[in-house]
């Protein structure tokens, strides 16, 4: 069975995946508001008038007009609601399984350049020799300064076998700046959502969660239990820095590992009172739970914040780093027809004590920044180092990680 078929099958049978609802179609709900029908008429009249009188109407289809109108409506709502067309929905579904089409890098726009934050092992970018903190100045001859972050991401992802040209600068402490042009072909990139390591001769375990995909809870359990069995660590560091979230249900399932049965993990709230519910734990508790320190920063968002907040409340996990992003809203997907859908902010989660992370974020117990302010040091050299740099080069550069290790000693 092809990957797409597996993804579609799993999505259609899920009742909640990142808050995705396929069971309730808003078009089936009764509407009695006069304003609603008045504005439906306005939209219908606009479509008809454009079709009958617009000079170049043969160049504009009803589908294109409707798509544009719906995109404009969702733009008016919030930054997370959007209209999803088939190719976007397919890509969204694939990402939930830790796979996407692209070259395999994560980037951060800083002024007129984009900095490579992570290179996925064995990805096209890795095979082309790109490295952490390489500076991209142009993509397909377009200056980075002329592109926003969404456009940048769209350009480094896309159709398999399509090529992209990158102008890259590399600064090494032992070498002069190197500038080079590289062409990379996009492929399917598989992302391992959890990476593990140890510190202090195995006495401290380390797990980095890059995002929450369908496999994250099981992989976390396996790696956690492997660390306990092989090293008997006195504590675990969970790194949620730069984790944008992902599947809500998978974050809940991971948090569930640290709860005894039938305790409240979190509370879901929506406009529909009957759907407000306390999410309770199951009987999947880990056999051994160790002291924990969780690393967070300003890019720790959504499901990642949920996990950090829940584990601080439940097991006293200490948070180290910087205040998290502050997103507790949940986007549901409502199918409009077989090929289009609305991704709509329709709920939020609260921690078990009633705290709402949305717009506020989580304050760390120990605020530590990785931005060093030494005279002559560039902004680029002060960037937070990714997993690969931490573990393959010099961990002493990561002050947040060092603080977490200190707390575990």
Which segment of 255-259, 324-328, 376-380 scores lowest on mean pLDDT? 376-380
Q: Long-range contacts for 22-26 (Cβ within 8 Å, ≥24 apart)? A: 22/333, 22/335, 24/334, 25/334, 25/335, 26/334, 26/342
Task: State the pLDDT at residue 211.
Answer: 87
Q: What is the mean pLDDT of the chain?
A: 81
Residue 388: what pLDDT? 43
pLDDT at res. 372: 43
More confident site: 333 or 235: 235
Task: Write out the DSSP string of 64-108.
Answer: HHHHHHHHHHHHTT-SS-EEE-HHHHHHHHHHTTTEEEE-SEEEE
pLDDT bracket for residue 259 (50, 70, 90):
very high
Per-residue pLDDT reduced to its tens digit, 50-63 = 988 999 878 888 88
Residue 3 pLDDT level (bands cut at 50, 70, 90): very low
Is the Cβ–Cβ distance between 357 and 327 less than 8 Å?
yes
Question: Does residue 17 surpass a pLDDT of 50?
Answer: no
CATH superfamily placement of domain 194-408:
2-enoyl-CoA Hydratase; Chain A, domain 1 (3.90.226.10)
Predicted confidence band at 376 (pLDDT cuts at 50, 70, 90)? very low
Domain 99-189 CATH (choose: 3.40.1160.10, 2.30.42.10, 3.90.1300.10, 2.60.40.1260): 2.30.42.10
Residue 195's pLDDT is what? 87
| pLDDT for the residue 222 | 93
Same CATH topology for 99-189 and 194-408: the answer is no
Q: State yes or no: pLDDT of 20 exceeds 50.
A: no
Q: In the chain, pLDDT over 70 holds for what percent of residues?
A: 81
pLDDT higher at 226 or 24: 226
pLDDT-derived band at 328, boundaries 50, 70, 90: very high
Assign 2 a pLDDT band (cuts: 50, 70, 90): very low
Domain boundaries, the chain: 99-189, 194-408
| Strand extents, DSSP E, 171-287 | 178-185, 187-190, 194-199, 204-209, 235-239, 264-270, 277-280
pLDDT band with cut points at 50, 70 and 90 for residue 4? very low
Q: Express each pLDDT in 98-146 by its tens digit.
A: 677 889 888 888 888 988 877 888 889 999 999 888 899 999 999 998 8
Is the pLDDT at 248 greater than 70? The verdict is yes
Helix (H) or strand (E) holding 390: helix 387-392
Confidence class for position 149, pLDDT limits 50, 70, 90: confident
pLDDT band at 89, cuts 50/70/90? low
Distances from the Cα of 271 to the Cα of 16, 17, 346, 398, angstroms? 17, 19, 7, 43
Question: Residue 284 above 50 pLDDT?
Answer: yes
Query: What pLDDT does 6 receive?
Result: 33
Its pTM stands at 0.72
């Amino acid at each position: 069975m092809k990957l797409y078929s597996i993804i579609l099958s799993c999505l259609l049978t899920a009742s909640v995946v990142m808050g995705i609802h396929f069971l309730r179609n808003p078009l089936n709900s009764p509407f009695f508001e006069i304003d609603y029908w008045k504005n439906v008429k306005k939209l219908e009249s606009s479509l008809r008038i454009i079709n009958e009188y617009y000079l170049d109407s043969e160049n504009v289809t009803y589908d294109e007009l409707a798509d544009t109108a719906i995109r404009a409506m969702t733009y008016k709502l919030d930054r997370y609601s959007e209209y999803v067309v088939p190719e976007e929905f397919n890509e969204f579904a694939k990402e939930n399984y830790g796979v996407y089409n692209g070259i395999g890098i994560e980037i951060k726009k800083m002024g007129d350049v984009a900095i490579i934050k992570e290179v996925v092992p064995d990805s096209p970018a890795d095979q082309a020799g790109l490295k952490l903190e390489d500076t991209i100045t142009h993509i397909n001859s377009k200056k980075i300064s002329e592109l926003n972050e969404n456009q940048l991401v769209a350009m480094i992802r896309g159709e398999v076998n399509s090529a992209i040209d990158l102008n890259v600068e590399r600064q090494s402490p032992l070498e002069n700046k190197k500038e080079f042009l590289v062409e990379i072909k996009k492929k399917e990139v598989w992302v391992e959502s959890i990476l593990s390591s140890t510190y202090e001769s195995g006495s401290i375990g380390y797990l980095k969660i890059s995002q929450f995909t369908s496999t994250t809870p099981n992989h976390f359990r396996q790696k956690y239990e492997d660390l306990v069995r092989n090293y008997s660590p006195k504590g675990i560091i969970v790194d949620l820095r730069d984790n944008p979230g992902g599947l809500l249900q998978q974050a809940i399932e991971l948090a569930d590992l640290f709860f005894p049965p039938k305790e409240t993990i979190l509370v879901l709230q929506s406009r529909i009172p009957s759907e407000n519910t306390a999410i309770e734990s199951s009987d999947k508790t880990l056999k051994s739970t160790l002291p924990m320190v969780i690393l967070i920063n300003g890019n720790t968002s959504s499901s990642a914040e949920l996990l950090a907040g829940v584990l601080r409340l439940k097991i006293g996990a200490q948070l180290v780093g910087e205040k998290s992003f502050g997103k507790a809203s949940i986007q549901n997907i409502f199918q409009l027809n077989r090929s289009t859908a609305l991704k709509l902010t329709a709920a939020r989660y609260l921690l078990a004590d009633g705290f709402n992370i949305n717009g506020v974020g989580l304050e760390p117990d120990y605020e530590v920044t990785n931005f060093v302010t030494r005279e002559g040091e560039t902004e680029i050299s002060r960037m937070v180092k990714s997993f690969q740099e931490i573990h393959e080069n010099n961990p002493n550069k990561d002050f947040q990680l060092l603080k977490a290790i200190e707390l575990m000693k």
